[in-house]
A and B are shown apart, each in its own frame.
Chain A
Amino acid sequence: MTQPSSTTATQDPSAGDGPPKLECRSVWKLFGAGGETYRVDALDAADNAALARAGLVGAVRNVNLGVREGEIFVIMGLSGSGKSTLVRCLSRLVEPTSGEILFNGENLLDASAKRMIEIRRHHMGMVFQHFALLPHMSVLGNVAFPLEVQGVPRAEREARARKMIELVGLDGREAFYPRELSGGQQQRVGIARSLAVEPELWFLDEPFSALDPLIRREMQDEFIRLQSVLRKTIVFITHDFDEAIRLADRIAIMKDGAVVQTGTPEDLVLRPADAYVAEFTRGVSRSKVVRVASVMQPGEPSSAAPSVMENVPVAEAAPLFADGVQELCVTGRDQRPVGRLSRQAVADVMMLG
């Protein structure tokens, strides 16, 4: 393996600085009789046996996360890993047993019911796995629904809803009812609806899992396009590791209610924390994950070399070597050169698969 330069590997390409938008501190969620009063602070997150003895299931065990402004944070886990419960804890649809959930520094678990309604109405949007469209309303009615709940006047909310419908490419279907649409179209409605209130925080709970593989791919592209326009802070749940790799700025992998590892796709692939994570990353092609910044060398390249952004995967940089080019100029976000990429370094990564 090529030595990734240790200074740049942990740097997150799209994350901003400052405190996280949404932070979750030692959050626990226990299911089972008596789960509400069970003392978890004495418990090690790895100690499942003690919970089982008490007749409890630890759906979320001592989870610590920070989601930064404008990043796509993917929570990945197989079914039963507690990822759905965790995202419901973050939005407080499920009441965590203990812990703190800080949204813009405010602990959601201390918020009153009224304050919570306020936060959900104006600052959060959620997309559901099975769409959760209201069958008695048209597309327009569904998308305008969150605004209607807030009491926004009809003309205004319909104008905003139409804009969202256009954004997801469903214009012309405003009068259709959910059952008249295909699965992909229904989820577009779900996405438009969750965006109608222009939320700061966007939850997507396995939004594409119920769709056919081809449609899923198309919707992922659509999602990437939307995010490039909107720059929302996103918590995205999936059980599909390829989807996670494709979309994520950072990924948290969950197993049995606990987070096994958090990091960029590159981190996970290059430095899996344990065998469980390694099992997922084994089939992933390195060149699609490893970013140019990780394999470049410091120093100025020759002036004639074509340039490439430091945050693109190596696989995207490879075609630039086609015309016998030996070296690429790596540029930072501000277009200034930050290093050089040799043909050999790219070939090494590509050969790893």
Chain B
Amino acid sequence: MSDVASQAGRVIDAGAIRAGTSNAPGKTAWRIAWGVALVVFVMLWLFGKPVAGWAFDVPRAWRIPVQRWISDAMKWLVDDASFGLFSFTDLTRFLATLVEVPYRLVLGLLSTGIMDGRGSSAQEILPPLSWLAVIGVVALMGYFAGGRRLAFIVGGCFVFLAVFGQWDSAMVTLASILIAVPIGVVGGLLLGLAAFRWRAVDIALRPLLDLMQTVPVFAYLVPILFLFGFGPTSAIVATIVYALPPMTRISLLALKGVPDEVHELGRMTGCSRRQMTWRILVPSAMPGLMIGVNQVIMLSLNMVIIASMIGAGGLGFDVLAALRRLDIGAGFEAGLAIVALAIALDRLSQAFAARRPEHVAAGAGEKNLLARHPYTVAGLALIVAGGLAGLVAAPLQSYPEALQISTGTLGSDLVSWININFFDQLEAVKNALLLNVLIPVKRFLTSLPWVGVTGLLALAGLRLGGWRLALLVSVLSCLIAFTGQWEKAMITVYLCGISVVIASLVGIPIGVLAAGRERLWKFVELVVDTLQTLPSFVYLMPAVMLFRVGDFTAMIAVVAYAVAPAIRYTAYGLRRVDPQLVEAGVVAGATPWQLLTKIRLKLALPEILLGVNQTVMLALSMLVITALVGTRDLGQEVYIALTKADTGRGLVAGLSVAFIAIIADRLISAGANRIRARLGLPEGEGGHR
């Protein structure tokens, strides 16, 4: 079969070459088209307002009242919808119970203790696990998966939680994750399997997954809040919904990555469908699936923190409360606790993903229980011993308060020290940027006519990806305009655009520097990896500490959050350049600078573009969260909708953000693919993570 594929490949190659040669005369035509379009655009912008006001501001009569439709539909769902035997509300209540019961159990084990009865009359049947036992168990898991070093890291992170008095909140957060992750993983795997088996499911899921991954997280919260009410259950539901799409996508990729021969093996040995799926495909795809599990864990952590807005409690709530009080010290501590938890979970799940089976010496079968399952037995022993010890001595049950350390004053002191000594400098930077860059760009963008912008986007789409892309781009941008979101969308574009430019200006040079230096790259990679595991919430704290609230603070937080892919992809792209080409350059007598600009950067360009694409996606998702520090864009719109539980408003604004993301993603990816094709490089994987 591969023979045929290669033949087909050759045919396509020939086609590409022909297309390449016919491109040359078209170039001038395109240049003229762009010139004409720009002139028309500028004319419209400068002189169009009195003549065609509708081109700047969509008249009220033209607007599509989607917000009202959605809100009405949701109301109908909750109040009237029924499946005959039971109503829609019954269904959501049932789902909520499905999640709530195991959550209460895990929460009881980790934090509150298993209770009998309700309220003040509740009696403790079983105390929660002793903090020592929990640390022991996670350290054991670390030792099992990654040896002594990992045990030390993971155990250390949990000790940190106890010592800094974040234990209880962290356990609440951990309990939510322990419930959300298995459901998310299994659900994603099943969806992935369905999409793998039935092409129709794949085709139906694809755009849905795209949309779900670009809709900002807050927008998820609004309908879930409406359907499930305020509380940890809806937070977990939101987390699952958020973590499903990436798991589905990764499952599908992993399943598609199983070699043809392995499929054939299954058929040649006469596997039934079920045997094929569970004995052959899923085990063979396991390494890929484990990467998905790691992703789900990290996304769940991120979401559980954000979902504190709809009652998740735990560390996220502590950060949120501190942000609202502007209590820098407390927020900083909770933020650090999130970082510790994130690092522990990330390293642990990565180590489990990287584990490969190894043979044991012969005769292992006859050994006793302890020898066969040393880790399970030791873990259970630790839990029992911890529980018994906790009954005797309270400090062994929960970490003694007297020994807690607080950085509370330290954080605040540091900030006030910075603010006292560097206030003028910080203010000067902030004001200079605000006055000279941010505000002019904002004014410029918000004054543009939507008709003109849509036209230019469509032209870019046509040039980069053909008429399909042009159509997609213009329809999405019209939808934003006709739902009355244009002005807020432009503010989003302005903040996102400036943040991306700054992030690229910072990130790409770092990537270039690190790419060629092995030790620096190791260090940068570690930093970037760690930055990417941190939940987005964490980035707000230091920005607010230094610059208080406003657009500038939002921009700093967005840049910090979104810089990682710019660094990573630049370095990857440069490192993946064929060394023979670089050698060819050296032999031709190129200086290092010429090597960089004429060979390495040129060839790494598609990769760098993908990095910028990722930066845009991350910036957009972070931008919505910065609504907390007082921006005026679509994010704020979603946030307001959240506080009012106004589903229509929230979804429309959220979808507008998603549309901006999709437009940017498709245009940049199409551009990257064009360059790739021109350089003769293999087609890259899609821009999504």
Contacts and interface: CB of A to CB of B under 8 A. Distances in A.
A128 interface: yes
Interface string A179-203: 1100000000000000001000001
Most chain A CB inside 10 Å of its own CB: which residue of B3, B262, B267: B3
A132 B358 contact: no
Given A132-B261, A136-B286, A136-B357, A57 B270 contact: no
B519 interface: no
A130 to B, nearest CB: 6
A31 interface: yes
A177 B359 contact: yes
B362 A126 contact: no
A150 B1 contact: no
Interface string B258-296: 010110110111111001000110011011000000000
Contacts of B259: 130, 132
Interface stretch (A81-89, A226-234, A280-288, A316-324): A81-89
Given A79-B3, A80-B7, A132-B259, A149 B357 contact: no
Contacts of A27: none
B261 A128 contact: yes
Contacts of B362: 175
B8 interface: yes
Nearest to B264: A93
B268 A124 contact: yes
Given A134-B284, A175-B360, A177-B356, A80 B264 contact: no
A88 B275 CA distance: 21
Contacts of B275: 149
Contacts of A137: 283
Interface string A34-68: 00000000000000000000000101000000000
A132 B359 contact: no
Tell me whether chain B's interface is mostly helix, strand or loop, or mixed. helix
A138 interface: yes
A175 B364 CA distance: 10
B11 to A, nearest CB: 9
Contacts of B264: 88, 93, 126, 128, 132
Interface in A255-286: none
Contacts of A85: 1, 3-4
A80 B270 contact: no
A135 interface: yes
A126 B268 contact: yes
A280 B634 CA distance: 70
B104 to A, nearest CB: 35
Interface residues of B, number: 32
Q: Bin the interface of chain A by size.
A: 35 or more
Contacts of B268: 91, 93, 120, 124-126, 203
B23 interface: no
B267 A145 contact: no
B2 interface: yes
B511 to A, nearest CB: 33
B6 interface: yes
A88 B359 contact: no
A126 B265 contact: yes
Interface string B355-389: 01111111000000000000000000000000000
Contacts of A146: 269-270
A134 B280 contact: yes
Contacts of B283: 134-137
A75 to B, nearest CB: 13
Contact of A149 (B2, B4, B279, B286): B279
A167 B197 CA distance: 38
Contact of B269 (A120, A130, A179, A180): A120
Interface string B654-675: 0000000000000000000000
Interface in B29-67: none
A42 B267 CA distance: 33
Given A59-B3, A80-B7, A180 B272 contact: no
B558 to A, nearest CB: 42
B270 A120 contact: yes
A325 interface: no
Interface in A141-186: 145-146, 148-150, 175-177, 179-180
A138 B272 CA distance: 22
Contacts of B279: 145, 148-149
Interface in B1-20: 1-4, 6-8
Contacts of A125: 268
A179 to B, nearest CB: 6
Contact of B262 (A79, A81, A94, A134): A134
Interface string A107-139: 000000000011011001110111110111110
Nearest to B266: A149
A57 B2 CA distance: 13
Nearest to A83: B3
Given A132-B259, A149-B275, A177-B357, A82 B3 contact: yes
Contacts of A94: 1
A230 B99 CA distance: 59
Contacts of A197: 269
Contacts of A180: 358-359
A162 to B, nearest CB: 12
Contact of B6 (A79, A126, A132, A176): A79
A177 B6 CA distance: 33
A150 B8 CA distance: 38
A138 to B, nearest CB: 6
B8 A57 contact: yes
Contacts of A134: 262, 265, 280, 283-284
A175 B359 contact: yes
Interface string B476-506: 0000000000000000000000000000000
A213 B158 CA distance: 54
A297 B355 CA distance: 67
Interface string B239-264: 00000000000000000000101101
B150 to A, nearest CB: 21
A150 B270 contact: yes
A176 B362 CA distance: 10
B270 A84 contact: no
Nearest to A180: B359
Given A132-B262, A132-B264, A117 B4 contact: no
Contacts of B3: 59, 79-85
A208 to B, nearest CB: 15
A335 B253 CA distance: 62
Nearest to A145: B269
Given A93-B268, A120-B269, A129 B261 contact: yes
A278 B357 CA distance: 50
A149 B269 contact: yes
B622 to A, nearest CB: 38
A176 B283 CA distance: 17
A125 B286 CA distance: 26
Most chain B CB inside 10 Å of its own CB: which residue of A121, A135, A138: A135
Contacts of B360: 175
B1 A88 contact: yes
A120 B358 contact: no
A108 to B, nearest CB: 13
A55 to B, nearest CB: 10
A203 B275 CA distance: 22
A97 B645 CA distance: 59
A93 B262 contact: no
Given A80-B7, A118-B270, A120-B269, 6 more contacts: A81-B3, A129-B261, A138-B359, A150-B270, A180-B359, A197-B269
For the complex of A and B, the 6 pairs showing the least CB-CB separation, nearest first, are: A121-B270, A132-B261, A175-B359, A146-B269, A80-B3, A120-B270
28 contacts: A31-B4, A57-B7, A59-B4, A79-B3, A80-B4, A84-B2, A91-B268, A94-B1, A117-B270, A120-B267, A121-B269, A126-B264, A128-B261, A128-B264, A131-B261, A132-B262, A135-B283, A135-B286, A135-B287, A136-B283, A146-B269, A148-B279, A149-B270, A149-B271, A150-B270, A175-B359, A177-B356, A177-B357
